[in-house]
Chains A and B, each alone.
Chain A
């Protein structure tokens, strides 16, 4: 029971007489002085989502700097050379996100372990490659409260390193996606060491089989979520890797299991589905890419007590018959993915919408046999929908009008839906005020007036894709500049867009993180300067085929967190300009450019950049047909001079 707080400060402000401040109004007292640390922390908690705001705060005065340093719990370092200073500045970090740091070595990890000690609860190493078991051991031993570790993409990590991870005794969540060199031995060490493990992802860990997974099942009694996708399967006759028999025995041990992912694994037939009956707590099953049978689906319907999430994305064998039975039994479904189930028709949609009225997420990209009328049912019956993916479907404006009744809609994908127009979009703009993501990829029927409805009606928009919506002009970008939360804009292939529109976006959308203006031929350096000045959160940009030159590219170097650069077919790009830009952009981790540049720059530059943590992806792609071949060749010759 809380006692009434002791109030320490007078409410009347105290005017300080001896002041030599530089404020014009002569008041040297700030109301901020009245606030306790706890209250300032509450204010800082609410100073989201733009990271620049807390940075501005820290520059206000030394007291603000001190308060912000004490407050920060989540740290995302950009350059490892600054890390020691930053770790001293922020002594209370609990979550270390190293995905923006291009080069994380054992020394980096040791540094972090020593500085953060038992404060550290979570480390994300999912984009890092340069560390080994040595760094991991330091982390595991010094940070005894480490609960969450993401080692996705650590493709060089072997069993020895996995054994070091096992020293993190309190680990509850571990992701090891794509750790392809880890075998049953490494996973076994983890099973024995990390007894509190609740979530484990071994997606793409092709070296792991029945033995490793079985050990996890036996030793980690608290396991709730298991991702075994893409673990190779062999014939049922060979028991070397994951088989349905192995899974069956896994399931009999992991009775707390709430979530299972078996993407691209065994065939989901009756035997496998029957083994699911042991998992009374099972709420989520993901079977992406697994061939399923009607009997298998039926068994899932029968055995699963109350399934909340089901994914049959790209599963062969999904039919109206199987789904109808399943949905008669499973009425509590909230999340359903039937992407590419191209055999199902409006019969399935009718059953889904009448049984599962609480559906919050429905993904049905490319369900080719579903007619346009079926989409009207979705809008009529499933009003809890927050996420809807109707990419590549027959939906038309009538369907959109109906779906606009789903007022909670937050993410809506309509890519490749060729039957929709501005009229349908206007309905969405009027009713779905909470819309955050909208994908209109290649919806050629959409023009500026459709965008007007959306930008005006959905001020919380965070992500927009209008790629190849050829009618879109700068007017739409001007409208989007009012959506202050926008962080992702994909407008590739919009030939009417110019630097003017881009400048508006840069000034208005301070959260801009990802920008794709490929094939926006009219965008030039004049668009890059505003980006360089305003868009301090920009991480990823695609400038291919635009009119940006050396100057524009170099100006982007002032964006400190720029990581990914795609610059194919920039006719204004010279080898020396490219070199200057690559060297100046210190945080680059991925650059996609034309293979012709490989021989045009000194090898030493690429080696230096790769050592700095930058990956190069070379493309041989020929310039698209807009320009005749002679012109292109001449440009290439120009570049070689």
Chain B
């Protein structure tokens, strides 16, 4: 571990001068990824690590594999580009963003198998990247829309632990008790 004497604390004023400053992220399986600091700071977790001065130019992420980390970096790069050099992008998935050019890209981005999707959720949560968390959670939500309970079970490999009587009771309550 190199003992660097240069401080890595970044303030808002200095951000403009640090456009090309890079930071290295290390995945759980030992792979290193060098990225622009501004891209890495799409992750609030990484942002705090850097701001706290704990970076030492290499940030270990023991909970994220290289496969997932490379995808996360891809997301951050794309969204950072789209937002320009200003604030970290805040994309809203609640509105009908039919005019948002990123929407198509995002839609393709989440066309992955369930294993990867859930890993992305966990990574987005751990790294605190709101846009990615919302995107991946919305994808899961969309996978449930319009489905019957059995279809939801099949999609997500859920074991049905209701007895037939219990299930009938809940079904009745769901239908008649409230909207």
Contacts and interface: CB of A to CB of B under 8 A. Distances in A.
B135 to A, nearest CB: 10
B105 interface: no
Interface in B139-179: 140-141, 144-149, 151-154, 156-162, 167, 170-171, 173-179
A23 B157 contact: yes
A23 B66 CA distance: 31
Contacts of A631: none
A51 interface: yes
Given A11-B119, A46-B141, A86-B178, A31 B159 contact: no
B177 A434 contact: no
- In terms of DSSP, what is the predominant structure of the interface of chain A? loop
Contacts of B156: 30-32, 60
A441 B57 CA distance: 66
Given A78-B179, A82-B177, A434-B98, A13 B161 contact: no
Interface stretch (A1-9, A128-136, A160-168, A494-502): A1-9
Nearest to A74: B179
Interface string A400-432: 000000010000000000000000000000000
Contact of B152 (A35, A45, A56, A83): A56
B106 interface: no
A46 B157 contact: no
Q: Which of A4, A42, A79, A536 has the most CB of B within 10 A?
A: A4
Nearest to A53: B145
Given A11-B65, A30-B157, A85 B177 contact: yes
A35 B121 contact: yes
A98 B56 CA distance: 58
A86 B122 contact: no
Interface residues of A, number: 66
A60 B119 contact: no
A61 interface: yes
A2 B128 contact: yes
B45 interface: yes
B160 to A, nearest CB: 6
Given A34-B122, A42-B133, A29 B157 contact: yes
Given A36-B125, A85-B173, A46 B137 contact: yes
Interface in B106-126: 114-115, 117-119, 121-122, 125-126
A443 to B, nearest CB: 26
A561 B179 contact: yes
B145 A50 contact: yes
A79 B177 CA distance: 6
Interface residues of B, number: 57
Contacts of B7: none
A238 interface: no
Contacts of B177: 77-79, 82-83, 85-86
Contacts of B157: 23, 25, 27-31
A43 B125 CA distance: 12
Interface in B25-76: 28, 44-45, 48-49, 63-65, 68
A73 to B, nearest CB: 13
Interface in A23-68: 23, 25, 27-32, 34-36, 38-39, 42-47, 50-51, 53, 55-65
A59 B149 contact: yes
A78 B176 CA distance: 7
B99 interface: yes
Contacts of A29: 157
A61 B171 CA distance: 12
A28 B137 contact: no
Interface of A: 1-5, 7, 9, 11, 13, 19, 21-23, 25, 27-32, 34-36, 38-39, 42-47, 50-51, 53, 55-65, 75-79, 82-83, 85-86, 89, 100, 407, 433-434, 460, 510, 536-537, 560-561, 586
Interface of B: 28, 44-45, 48-49, 63-65, 68, 93-94, 96, 98-99, 114-115, 117-119, 121-122, 125-126, 128, 133-134, 137-138, 140-141, 144-149, 151-154, 156-162, 167, 170-171, 173-179
Those 8 A-B pairs whose CB atoms lie nearest each other, nearest first? A82-B177, A59-B149, A31-B118, A46-B141, A76-B179, A21-B159, A55-B174, A7-B63
